[in-house]
Structure formats: structure tokens, C-alpha cells
Amino acid sequence: SNTFLIRKKDLQTAIFTMADNSKEAVDRKSSLEEGTFEILYEMSRVLNCGLDRQTLSILISLCENGVNPEALSSVVKELRRETSALQENEENEVKSNTTR
């Protein structure tokens, strides 16, 4: 739906803005109790979420700032799908260029 696309774009902008400011993300991690963050990171790792510490910190910060966790999860999944598709296209282009 159009509402989801608008929200998705807003969330993407927020994620990339926060990712650009990695010091803020690191500071955000230190604002959480270190033990709590480590537990969340360990849970993420055990569940094979594929999130590094910086990304997890950004996602936690977005949730703390009112972003719906389910919507955020959908955006992360969509970004992963898009990234995978782009990588696959690049690999196919390289293969077709080397076979010519």
C-alpha cells in the first residue's frame, strides 16, 4: 500500500541518517546498560538475525524513538532482499562480461 511505501521510505531515510553518524550509534549503545545491550546482541546472534552491533544499536534507537518494531522488521527484510537482488544482478553481469 502507499502508506507502507511512505513509511518505508521514511524509515530508510532514518536508518541511513543514523548509520551515517556512526559515533551517535556507538554513543547510543553506551547509553543502554552494557549488560542489557550484550543480552540483546547475544539473542540476535543466537537467532541468526545477521545484525552487527552497530546495526542493532541503530534499530534499538529507532524503536526507542517510537518506530513500530514490526514495520522496522519489514523494512530491514526488504532492504536485505533488495541488496541480495542487486548483488545477484552484478554477479550475472560479471559472468556475462567474462563469457564474451
14 Cβ partners below 8 Å, 6+ apart? 62, 67
33-37 mean pLDDT: 80
Mean pLDDT over 1-28 rounds to 57
Q: What integer is the mean pLDDT of 59-76?
A: 89
pLDDT at 11 over 70: no
Domain tally, the chain: 1
Enclosing domain of residue 25 = 2-98
**pLDDT given at position 70:** 92
HSE-CB at 44 with a 13 A cutoff on CA atoms is: 18
Residue 97 confidence class, pLDDT cut points 50, 70, 90: confident
Mean pLDDT, rounded, for 44-63: 90
